[in-house]
Structure 1
Amino acid sequence: MTTNGSGFVDPAKRLRATLDSLLDPHVVLTAVRDHSGEIVDFEYTDANAAACEYNGVPYEQLIGMRLLDLLPGHQHSGLLEMYRTVIESGEPLILDDYVYPVDFRGGEEVHFDIRGVALGDSIVYTWRDVTDRHNRTQALADAEREYRNLAEATTDMAYRTDATGAIVWASPSATRVLGWSPEELLGRTAQDMVSPEEFASHAGHRADAYSGEWVPDGEQERVFNILHKDGGTIPMVAVVSRDLDAEGNWTGGLLVGLRDVTDVQKQEEIAQRERAKAQRLQLSIDRAAVGMAITDLKGTFEHVNPALAKMLRYSQEELVGMAFDAVTHPDDVDASRAMMMRFLDGDVDQMSLRKRYVDARGEILWVDLSVAAARRDDGSVDHFIAQLVDVTAEVEYADALETTVRRFRQLAENASDIVYEMGTDWTIRWISPSVQNVLGWDAEQLIGQPAPSIMAPGQDELLAVRGDQIRSGYSVGGENLAFMTASGQVRWLSAMAHPMTGDDDVVTGVIVGLRDVTAEVEAREALARVQQRLRLAVDAAPNGLVITDEAGVLVDVNRHFCQLIRISEGDLVGRRMAQILDQVQAGVCDPVSPHEHRLELADGAAWIEHDVREVSGHADDEVYFVHLFSDVTKEREVREELTHMATHDTLTGVANRRWFIERLQRLARGDSATGVGVLFCDLDRLKEINDVHGHLAGDTVLTAVASRLAAAVRGSDDVGRLGGDEFVVLLDGVASTDDLRAVAEKIRERVSRGVIVDGKPIDVTISVGAALLVPGEKTRTVLQRADNALLVAKSEGRNRVVVAELPADVDGGGNSGVVGE
């Protein structure tokens, strides 16, 4: 068997060499099937050297040969059918002491033990020639008579029974072994020599023995607890054979030899305990998470666990038999051998060593090795037990840490920032030279000094709090601390402190980094002063001011805005402008700026003007919006009052002529132009009322008529005064002249009632001229038609309604004309 030069053996070659080294023949027979799929023969597809030698056929000739061509006796002996059953059922073939007339031995009767198992459509088959064993067994039967005589002279005891199981003879040693004399045992049976339970448990074996069946080898040495005469029991092994007469015929009885195995059982129990210990030890080793191995006195691996094999990247089989030198780094071999010599000299029983190993890939591993010597009773070493823990990562980390510390020191010594190490009592152990450039102190003089000694006073409370946090293992920093220069000036330094811990996680020191931020602190203080002045200016502004980001979220407000909408600053900042406006029912913002909002506040409604301006932030992509809010409630009220005065009659409060004409023109241009009615209402005999009761009474009557007209119409209708005693009503949504007449009559009836002036009743009536606006009709035309209808009503006696006829021909021109044009 050859290798490829690296120690690797081809698995196929290894298997072939293993098969050829076996003494028993092994062959692989593959089924040969006919066209229907039935197995009719077998073909040799593999065989070991023993099989070729036994059959007398070389390997090259045997492979491919049919079974029945070589051994035709398989056909009539039934073996071929058995092979077929193995393949079809999958059950193994087991034949012991099978008699077969070997064809190539001239039909000589040969005895075989045969084993076969299915492998797909093949059977793996082996046999052993046990003819000699059979002959020896036969010879043993012939020697049974001699055995009986020999049993009589044994140091333990023997006895012979008849066909009924009664003892007919016992050896003299029975007295020494069981306390019974041979004569006392005569006539007794096995039932008298064991407990009832044990007697019942062996009933089947006794029946087989006395029926003439041969007792198998595995049943020859059963252990029985034989009753002693003193009442105790003795564990004894029974060897049973048939009792033969002088002619060699079986008498029906048995010859039984008994051997005391008390000491043997004790030794076996001890051995079992030792085996259990060994099994537990091996199980513990194999399941250990760390590498473990057992080596002999030369350091050769006798057993390795999976963890060690995985660590060294070998298989367990490859490591067993390998010397530890083969996987030890060359530089560590001498130290390992020296440790082994100390064990052999008896100096120590356990040692530890950190050493390097080389795995199967040639990579170096650092391992913590712990070795214990297992000694014999005489103190000599029997074997070594080794435990191996991979600490490569730890070693590499320590090396990296050492390199990092070295580089850190070099960096700190050349950096502009200050770095120092101090103990938990704040004593400076080391400080970078840059402390002289920043604070003017000599680094060597500060070593051994408490760090607070170079800090400005007034910071003790903060240092106490941070000290407790650091001692608890927390890193602290990001704060600006005041330090004193050597010349007595104050400089601001940003500090960051990190605790250093030992293996037990106890804080042993602190690393502190300091950066000079004096310029930044002074700049922030200056900025804070500017911001404070700006805040005072903003809060003093007469208008409300709000700053929002691009998302419309409030980032700042002044006091005047909070007062304006009755909401505190804390409830405003961080919310969206749309939410704030919705809260005060101000509606949405108009895209046109400035615009106005009507607010619903707890103390009433208010109007504010809202102006928005976009401004840029500090960054290029920052955009903010400045909102200015002014309270225009009073200006709005004045504006609305002036507008009302310009469009309404000052005496009666109804719309004036100008507003009425504009309103009619809008209705005429709208979709409801086909449903607009115009009523000219004239107060009858106003001049007489003025002459009789005075102009004040006349004004009172005019005011009453205006109120009654407004109360008589719907909310969508309008009432106006054209002047003197003339009023006009615009009705929207009138469908026909009949509807127009009905509404006009209703208004006339409600208005035509007396008015009490200075306790005197004054009769009031009105005359009404009505006209329905038709599509395309000019406004002045419909007014003229209503005015003409009014003249007819007055000429016919007043206090009546006259509806103008619809025009026969409607001019489709524009409707921009008005009365008087």
Structure 2
Amino acid sequence: MLTDNQSLNRRLEANASDLAKREQHFHALVQNSSDVITLIDRHGAIQYQSASVERILGYGETELVGKSFGELVHPDDRTQALRKIDEAINIMGPPIATECRLRRVDDSYCPAEVTITNLLELPAVRGLVLNTRDVSERKALEEKLTHQAFHDSLTSLPNRAAFRIGLDHALHGASEGRIAVLFLDLDDFKAVNDTLGHDTGDRLLVAVGARIASTLRPGDTVARLGGDEFAVLLKKMEDEQIAQRVAERITRQLVPPFAIDGKEISIRASIGIAGLVTGQEAADDLIRNADVAMYIAKSKGKARFVQYEASIAGAAIERMELEHDLRSALQEKQFVLQYEPVIMLESGAIHSVEALVRWNHPRRGVLAPVDFIGVAEQSGLIVELGRWVLQQAARDARRWQV
């Protein structure tokens, strides 16, 4: 009998030792977890907090015990967080995850991901276990990627995608009132890049964006669409003349030279203005109309603004399409040279030849210079076209000689 009691005692001691080791092992895991382990009762009061709370939120291990978990949550996130806790209590299922901002000891907020597990029915726990993870780095990366997706990397202004979204919202927002789009293109900006270099050109674009922004009213938006093109969204205009007044301010603001890299650089802009005409215009329609009006401003001598009118848009659109095709034609070698001989009347001998450029347009057929030289001159493509003509004529002359 004594032997049985001794054996029983040894087994009990062994079980107690094993249980103590398990508890120590579990405690070590919890205390050294990178996540914060929190136990709350069904009323949200904190019953236990792991030591990692000090590393993430700055509180001592027992400092928050007895306090409401909801008080730690940012006011804007509190309703959603408490709703998720109620959901975990009342709806049986897997753990529930939510994101919220938790107050640090210095009153700043830590972006956190909280997983809620209902262990109320487990006698050893009888509470809700919250596993909280600091997601500051992930949130910072998400914000960085979002900023990059919707902002121009050079000027930090909104980019084309952001401008398009903002314009969509303005068109569908009942409170935005009258709206208008200004499309700006810097005049002869290519000459700055060609003569002073792209680095100087980039710094000029940043300075131009800042000057444009300085002329706008609160709530208006300037974006860089790409290259030397900018756009402005005007909202809540009391009358349609506001768009022209803003365009005037921008024009005046660009008059003083820009001091870039120890040089004074003068730059002007052609501006197109487009407002709602039918009331049914989509965002793309407004941007296109403003672009057309800008093109008309260029054709009238640059450094001015023009209001879009449907009656004068047809010819401008045709010229814009021709300019677009002209750029493609240079790349795709759609131009050909035809030669007319100059003959000496006395002898009938060929004295020389005149090179005449023709454009073998894929849709319009063969175009004479009168149909496209004006567009080439206005767009600056005449330099590249002229270079090709000289090079091709020289190649042909060399071929005839041999």
If the length of structure 2 is used for normalisation, what is the TM-score?
0.64
The structural deviation recorded for 1:564 is 0.8
Which amino acid is the alignment partner of residue 762 of structure 1? I
Q: CA deviation at 1:687?
A: 1.8
Q: In structure 2, do the counterparts of structure 1 residues 683 and 670 end up closer, same or farther at CA, with 3 Å as the change threshold?
A: same
Among 245, 252, 258, the alignment partner of 1:749 is: 252
Deviations, residues 130-186 of structure 1 (Å, cap 9, x unaligned): xxxxxxxxxxxxxxxxxxxxxxxxxxxxxxxxxxxxxxxxxxxxxxxxxxxxxxxxx
Counterpart of 1:567 (choices 59, 63, 70) is: 59
Query: Are residue 545 (structure 1) and residue 34 (structure 2) matched?
Result: no
What SS does the corresponding residue of 2:288 show, helix, strand or coil? helix
Secondary structure, counterpart of 1:556 in structure 2: strand
The change in CA–CA distance for 1:520 and 1:778 in structure 2 (over 3 A counts) is: same
- Other-structure match for 2:396: none
Q: Tell me how far 1:587 sits from its aligned partner.
A: 4.5
Task: Give deviations 1:659-684, integer Å, cap 9, x for gaps.
Answer: 22222222222224642221101112
Deviation track 1:294-330 (CA, whole Å, cap 9, x = no partner) reads xxxxxxxxxxxxxxxxxxxxxxxxxxxxxxxxxxxxx
Q: Is the 8 A contact 1:672 1:732 kept in 2?
A: no
Q: CA deviation at 1:770?
A: 1.3
- CA, structure 1 residues 557+739, in 2 after alignment: closer, same or farther (shift >3 Å)? same
Q: Which has the larger radius of gyration?
A: 1
The answer for the alignment partner of 1:676 in structure 2 is 179
Runs (4 or more) in structure 1 with deviation over 6 Å come to 485-492, 518-525
For residues 787 and 487 of structure 1, what CA distance do their matches in structure 2 show?
A: 99
Measure how far apart 1:799 and its partner are: 2.5
Cα distance in 2, alignment partners of residues 692 and 635 from structure 1:
44
Does structure 2 retain, via aligned residues, the 8 Å contact 1:792–1:802? yes
Q: Which position in structure 1 is the counterpart of 2:142? A: 639
Query: C-alpha distance in 1, partners of 2:197/2:6?
Result: 98
Q: Give the whole-Å Cα distance in 2 for the aligned partners of 1:747 and 1:778.
A: 25
Greater helix percent: which structure?
2
Residue 262 (structure 2) pairs with residue 770 (structure 1): no
Instruction: Find the counterpart in structure 1 of residue 197 from structure 2.
Output: 694
Task: Find the aligned partners of 1:550 and 1:631 in 2 and give their Cα distance.
Answer: 24
Match of 2:304 in 1: 800
Report the AA paired with residue 546 of structure 1: T
Asked whether 1:711 is paired with 2:233, we answer: no
Whole-Å separation in 2 of the counterparts to 1:595 and 1:618: 23
1:648 deviates by 2.1
> CA offset at residue 761 of structure 1?
0.5
Return the letter of the residue paired with 1:646: A
Report the 3-state secondary structure (helix = DSSP H, G, I; strand = E; otherwise coil) of the residue aligned with 1:611.
strand
Whole-Å separation in 2 of the counterparts to 1:805 and 1:672:
26
Residue 112 of structure 2 corresponds to residue 608 of structure 1: yes
The Cα of 1:726 is off from its aligned counterpart by 0.9
Which runs of 5 or more residues in structure 1 are unaligned? 1-439, 441-484, 493-517, 808-819
Which of these residues, 43, 67, 72, is aligned with residue 580 of structure 1?
72
Question: Deviations 1:253-303 (Å, cap 9, x if unpaired)?
Answer: xxxxxxxxxxxxxxxxxxxxxxxxxxxxxxxxxxxxxxxxxxxxxxxxxxx
- Seen in structure 2, the aligned counterparts of structure 1 residues 577 and 653 have a Cα distance that, compared at 3 Å, is same
The answer as to whether partners of 1:572 and 1:580 remain within 8 angstroms in 2 is no
C-alpha distance 572-654 of structure 1, shift in aligned 2 (>3 A): same
Distance 2:4 2:202 in 1: 97
Aligned to 2:122: 618
| Partner in structure 2 of residue 304 of structure 1 | none
Contact 1:753 1:765 in 2 (8 A): no
| Structure 2 match to 1:233 | none
Residues of 2 paired with 1:715 and 1:703: CA distance?
A: 20
Amino acid at match of 2:170: L
The one-letter amino acid of 2:163's match is F
SS state at 1:626 partner? strand
Listed as ranges, the matches of 1:364-513 within 5 Å are none
Indicate the structure with greater strand content: 1
Contact kept in structure 1, 2:74 and 2:103, CA below 8 Å: no
- Which residue matches 1:85? none
Partner AA of 1:761 in structure 2: E
Deviations 1:558-599 (CA, angstroms, capped at 9, x unpaired): 11123211111221111110123359x974544465333335
Map Cα deviations across residues 677-700 of structure 1 (whole Å, 9 max, x no partner): 211011122022223322222221
Distance in 2 separating the partners of 1:678 and 1:666: 13
Distance 1:782 1:580, change over 3 A: closer
Question: Per the alignment, do residues 669 and 800 of structure 1 end up closer, same or farther by CA in structure 2, a change over 3 Å counting?
Answer: same
Q: How many pairs were matched up?
A: 298
**Secondary structure in structure 2 of the residue aligned to 1:630:** strand
Aligned to 2:370: none
Q: What letter corresponds to residue 49 of structure 2 in structure 1?
A: V
Question: Secondary structure, in 3 states, of the residue corresponding to 1:708?
Answer: helix
Cα drift, residue 755 of structure 1: 0.9
1:589 and 1:623 map into 2 onto residues whose CA distance is 23
Structure 1 equivalent of residue 242 of structure 2:
739
5 Å-filtered alignment, 1:38-53, equals: none
The answer to whether the 8 A contact 1:586-1:599 is kept is no
| Alpha-carbon distance in 2 for matches of 1:563, 1:693 | 53
* Letter in structure 2 aligned against 1:710: A
Instruction: Give yes or no for contact 1:737–1:803 (8 Å, CA) kept in 2.
Output: no
Equivalent-residue separation in structure 2 for 1:673 and 1:705 (angstroms)? 27
Give CA deviations for 1:115-135 in whole Å, capped at 9, x if unaligned. xxxxxxxxxxxxxxxxxxxxx
CA-atom RMSD, angstroms?
Answer: 3.5
Please give the secondary structure, in 2, of the residue aligned with 1:697: helix
**Residue 556 and residue 599 in structure 1: after superposition, are their counterparts in 2 closer, same or farther (change >3 A)?**
closer
How far off its partner does 1:489 sit? 7.0
Q: Highest relative contact order (Cα 8 Å, sep 6+), 1 or 2?
A: 2
Alignment of 1:34-113 (within 5 A): none
Q: What is the distance in 2 between the residues matched to 1:537 and 1:559? A: 11
Counterpart contact for 1:582–1:588, Cα < 8 Å: no
The corresponding residue for 2:166 is 663
Q: Distance in 2 between matches of 1:595 and 1:750?
A: 49
Deviations 1:439-494 (A, max 9, x none): x9xxxxxxxxxxxxxxxxxxxxxxxxxxxxxxxxxxxxxxxxxxxx99997999xx
C-alpha spacing 1:645/1:749, structure 2 compared with 1 (3 Å) = same
**Local SS of the residue matching 1:570:** coil
Shift of 1:705: 0.8
- The residue matched to 2:203 in structure 1 has which SS? helix
Partner SS, residue 574 of structure 1: coil
Alignment partners' CA distance in 2, 1:743 and 1:628: 54
Query: What amino acid sits opposite 2:116 in the alignment?
Result: V
In structure 1, distance between residues paired with 2:72 and 2:198: 55
Amino acid in structure 2 at the alignment position of 1:758: D
Q: 1:723 to 1:542 in 2, by over 3 A?
A: same
Distance 2:159 2:74 in 1: 38
Residue aligned with 1:789, SS? helix
Match of 2:153?
650
Q: Which residue of 2 aligns with 1:328?
A: none
Decide which of 710, 722, 725 is 2:228's aligned counterpart. 725
CA distance, structure 2, for counterparts of residue 490 and residue 574 of structure 1: 44
**Retained in 1: the 8 A contact 2:114–2:131?**
yes
Is the partner of 2:241 in helix, strand or coil?
A: helix
2:290 pairs with 1:786: yes
CA shift in 2, pair 1:738/1:714, >3 Å = closer
The answer as to whether partners of 1:772 and 1:806 remain within 8 angstroms in 2 is no
Where do 1:149-164 residues align within 5 Å? none
Q: 1:628 to 1:488 in 2, by over 3 A?
A: closer
Quick check: 2:160–2:223 contact (8 Å CA) kept in 1? yes
CA–CA distance in 2 between the matches of 1:753 and 1:567? 57
